[in-house]
Structure formats: C-alpha cells, structure tokens
Chain A
Amino acid sequence: MDMTITQKIIAEHAGLKEVHPGQLINAKVDIAMCHDVTGPLAIAQFTRAGVKKVFNKEKVVLVPDHSTPNKDIKSAENSKILRLFAKEQGITHYYEVGRGGICHALLPEKGLVVPGDLVVGADSHTCTYGALGAFSTGVGSTDLAAAMATGELWFKVPETTKFVYRGKLKPWVGGKDLILYAIGEIGVDGALYQAIEFTGETIETLPMDARFTMANMAIEAGAKNGIFFCDKITEEYTKNRAKRKYKLYTSDKEAQYKEVKEFDVSKIEPQVAFPHLPSNTKGVSEVEKVFIDQAVIGSCTNGRLDDLRGAAKVLKGRKVSPNVRLIVTPATQSIYRQAMKEGLLEIFVDAGAAISPPTCGPCMGGHMGVLAKGERAIATTNRNFVGRMGHPESEVYLANPAITAASAILGMIGSPEELGLRN
C-alpha cells in the first residue's frame, strides 16, 4: 500500500508494516516534551499513576519557557516542580533559564528532534518539528504523563491534506505569509484531525526557519501535524546537530490524500490576520488605517535568526513610532548570542525597542508585554484570540517580522515599502 510520510513514520513506530487513516494504533515515542505550564500537571499525573521512573531519561525533555523568568510566586513554584523533577529523575535535557529558550526553537536547534522521529509535547505548537520531516504533535498533560511513563501513546492515524506551493515569492513574503494565507483559505478547522503535507517548488527553496514557522501554525488550521519532506536544506541543518541517527521519509506516489490545495505564491502578498482568528486574513495592501500600541517580534513562530534579520533590515537606522512599544524576543540563548554578534540587537536598541530574554510571555498574555483594555498589538506570534495578549478588550493582529517591524515604525499596520524599502 502506498503511504504518506505521516503514515510511514507512524507505522514504523507502531511496529506495523502499514497503517491507514482512521486506524487506532499504539506507537513508541522518540521524545516527550513539556514546559512550566503543562509540566506540573503532567508530573502530578505521572506521580498519581504510581510510576517511579520515566521511560528514558534521555528522551524526556523539560523546558521552562512560558512564565519564565518567573513572573510571580505561583509560576516560580511551577518552575520549581519542573526543576526538582528533572533532578530527581536525572533528566539529561532540562534547560534552565539563561541556557535554553522557547522549546519549539530549542529542541531542533539542539538536535534533540531528528528526521523520522515521532514526537509528542504537552504544547499545541509541538507540530513545529514537522519541518524536520518528523511526525510531531501536541498533547495534553495527561497524555504526556502516559508517554513519560511508558514511552508509548495511542494515536488515530490522520488523513492527509497536501498543500502545494508554486511560483516565486513576492518581496517581504515568507513562511508566515504562506501559512496565514492557507489558513485564511481553509479556516481554523479546515484541517481538523488531519496531517498537512507542505510541498511544491516554492517549499524546496524555503530556508529551515521559514519551514518551522509554517509547521508551527498547522495547529491553527486544526491539524494534528504539519510535515515537510527532508531535502538538502533539512540535511544541512540536521547533520551537525543530530544527537541520534535519523531516517528520511517521503510520501509514496500513489499515497491517498483527503484533499490537495494548490497555491500560486506569486499572487500572495504579506498577510495580516485580523482579530480574533488566525484565519481572518487580508493582504497588507488591503489594510486601512489600523493604529497600534505595541509590536511584538518573537515567539516559537517567528523568533528565529532569519526572523530577527528580517526585522533588523527594516529597523536599521529608523526609529519606532513614539506611540508604539516594540518588544523583540530572540527565541533561544544561541539565537540571542548570534543576533548580538551580527549587530542585530544594536539595531533594535537604537530603534527604541525593548529586548526581552527568550520567553513565551507576551504571546500567551502571561508577562513581558501584556495589553491593557482597548490596546492593539501587531505580533509575529500565532494566535489572536479574544484576550490572548491581555485584556479581553485588547486586539492582536498577526503578521511576519518585516511587516511587524515596519508597523512599529509607522505607528500603524503597514509594509516596509511604505518606508521606501525594497527587498
């Protein structure tokens, strides 16, 4: 039977020759990850189950990244639970504040997830690792506790929808725009329970950072996972990082798809998702005067080096509008260091931006950039639900880093072209 890449990886981990969509299977997991919000619940469930040891201390990854550096006493207690569990269990991959970063940028960077893996994480954006040609999906804390205890978890094999991107990218268009545009087309439940397979000639030249952004937001279309085939770009990224042997998969020619969606990217301009759904998208040229109070560049979606470079290109030699607070959050310590080395941080500080340590804080309305009543932000993050970044009457607009940077300068949503910039 011809299978998709998703089916093949699941079959391999379930010890089966083949699996078909809808089938319920039990599979071995290569990595089980949780953070300071979902971890304490997972640890409580793990303990309740009466399990003494995690299935493999090399394969459980713990990353305090959400309310860190701790925003209050309660979050400090949560981080402490994670830290103590890591010590007690002898967890190899625990990343303390100042030595880690946002989990979904950190795990690929450290080579902890490799092509062909089956990964679960107690965080919905765990689908990010699909950019590496792995099957990776978000689960709740209880499922994660089960995975930490047994190294296995049950899954329903998803159907796959194939996205085919063709054509040459317009100026200032990146992975964020390709995924936002697609979500705008199919809706926030357009791929519910499904795998999204990202393919096409445009994808073949797309850098890893853009692929991570796209896989990251598969969940915003309701998908179980988003996945890319491995190619030279993936191998280049992986070869010096991989902590384990890896296996490359592609889909078979006659693999079955629920649907195939084709996108001509030469017609896609930078996208802006209006409140309060990521599917509420418009091309940036269609956006009328939307004044903003805050701009956020960072998160597991767009806090990587290419994202910071894109923002710096726009901000260099310019100043953030007096009416706007710009917050820049490099996603990991190593991205922070590299941004420093390349002079990007200096560009941000000169422009009048605040640079935050790696954290998920502002994206989830936790800390480091919470919005007041009636305030409006543009952000490179992934969700613009009601109250996502703070007060229930605040608003979030989603966009790529270059658009977000340009908007911070303009004081309203706009593109770098309005600043006379050419890409």
Chain B
Amino acid sequence: MKFRERAWKFGANVDTDAIIPGRYLNTTDPAELAQHCLENENPRFVKEAKKGDIIVADTNFGCGSSREHAPIAIKAKNISCVIAKSFARIFYRNALNMGLPIIESDEAVDGIEDGHELEVDLGKGLIKNCTTNQTFKANPIPPFIQRIIDDGGLIEHISKKTAKASEVD
C-alpha cells in the first residue's frame, strides 16, 4: 500500500486519554469516537484532518489505558498510518489487531514537521518527505505479525483458523 498525504506532528507520550478521552467511552461507535479523536491534544486535528492524513509522533505513542477505542478512533478518522519513534505496547498490539498500520522510525520522526507532505510505502517500509525531498527507512514488520495484517486483523485471522479446523472435523 502506497499513499501521499499531510503529516500531523505530535510530541512524546501521547496517551490514550488524549487520543480518546474517558468521557466518550460509553460508546463503541467508530464514527462517534472519530469526532473526538485527539481533541484535547490538538483541536485543529479533529476539524481539519483529511482522509489519508498521517500522524507523526515522538516516543511512547498510545501510552496509558488498553482501550481499543483509541486505534478505532484513529482508523475511523481515516488516518492512513501512524509513524512514531516508539509505541506503548498495548497500543501497538491493538493497532495491528485493528489493521491500523503503524511504523517505528526515529529518523523519519526527526525529519518531519507538522504540515509536511509524505509518501509512505508500507510494503517497502519507506517514508518519503516530499516537502524536504528526504527518504527514510523504517523497521520492517515481522512476518508473524504480517500474516495477521494480511488476513485483515486478528479476528479474521482466527476465523480462518477456526474454519480450517472445522473442515478437518
């Protein structure tokens, strides 16, 4: 998958309360969650982010609670991927389980400013900053995880396995 979109830059330790505040956890509706995505952190993001835009953040993105509402809100906001120096571990798993692409790269984060235009090639792990004409290489996703993504998320992955098992029965 390859796309070219605007970067929204965030700092370190963007927590899950910032991504989707606790007061909205009485719903699981993706569209409703998307309306409040990162509203405490940057109110402009909620209003102006367009389909396909990219979140770029410093270290420990998604720290805090295990709420899957966080990657759901980002995905429903039609963000195409999140690039960060590091992710909090529960968020990391949740994002992949939801099929939200996430990429870790120190140099890309340092070389991207808010509003820059990026071209991302997930398959090759390449991030191009079209504004500065720099290209960065990201850590590849391990094959073990890639299979879950290829199946369309963890649930689809399990359904496939369950279907196979019942064929044997």
The residues of A with any CB-CB pair to B shorter than 8 Å are 24, 37-38, 40-41, 44-45, 48-51, 66-67, 71-72, 74-75, 78, 121-124, 126, 138-143, 145-146, 149-150, 154, 188-189, 192-193, 219, 222, 224, 277, 364-366, 370, 383, 385-388, 390, 392
Contacts and interface: CB of A to CB of B under 8 A. Distances in A.
A143 B93 contact: yes
- Report, nearest first, the 4 A-B pairs whose CB atoms are least far apart: A140-B94, A364-B22, A74-B26, A189-B60
Interface stretch (B11-19, B48-56, B75-83): B11-19
A189 B28 contact: no
Contacts of A72: 26
17 contacts: A24-B144, A38-B67, A48-B159, A49-B162, A51-B162, A74-B26, A122-B68, A139-B66, A140-B67, A143-B94, A188-B13, A192-B86, A192-B88, A364-B25, A365-B21, A383-B17, A392-B39
Contacts of A386: 15, 17-18, 40-41
Given A126-B66, A149-B158, A383-B17, 10 more contacts: A38-B66, A66-B25, A124-B90, A188-B63, A189-B13, A383-B65, A386-B17, A386-B40, A387-B18, A388-B22
A141 B17 contact: no
Contacts of B127: none
Contacts of A66: 25
Interface in B35-64: 39-41, 59-60, 63-64
Contacts of A188: 13, 60, 63
A146 B18 contact: no
A222 B159 contact: no
A345 B98 CA distance: 45
B40 A139 contact: no
A366 B18 contact: no
Contacts of A366: 22-23, 25-26
A140 B66 contact: yes
A71 B22 CA distance: 13
B155 interface: yes
Contacts of B86: 189, 192
Given A192-B60, A366-B23, A41 B68 contact: yes
A83 B146 CA distance: 35
A276 to B, nearest CB: 9
Given A41-B28, A189-B88, A387 B66 contact: no
Interface in B110-169: 142, 144, 153-155, 158-159, 162-163
Given A141-B68, A142-B97, A50 B159 contact: yes
A45 B88 CA distance: 22
Contact of B66 (A71, A124, A192, A193): A124
Contacts of A388: 17, 22
Contact of B59 (A121, A189, A364): A189
A146 B160 CA distance: 13
Contacts of A126: 66
B94 to A, nearest CB: 4
B2 interface: no
B88 A222 contact: yes
A366 B63 CA distance: 19
Contacts of A365: 17, 21-23
B147 to A, nearest CB: 11
A188 B163 CA distance: 42
A49 B26 contact: no
A37 B66 CA distance: 10
A377 to B, nearest CB: 14
Nearest to B12: A189
A44 B13 contact: no
Contacts of B27: 74
Contacts of B67: 37-38, 140
A51 B94 CA distance: 20
Interface string B86-105: 10111001100110000000
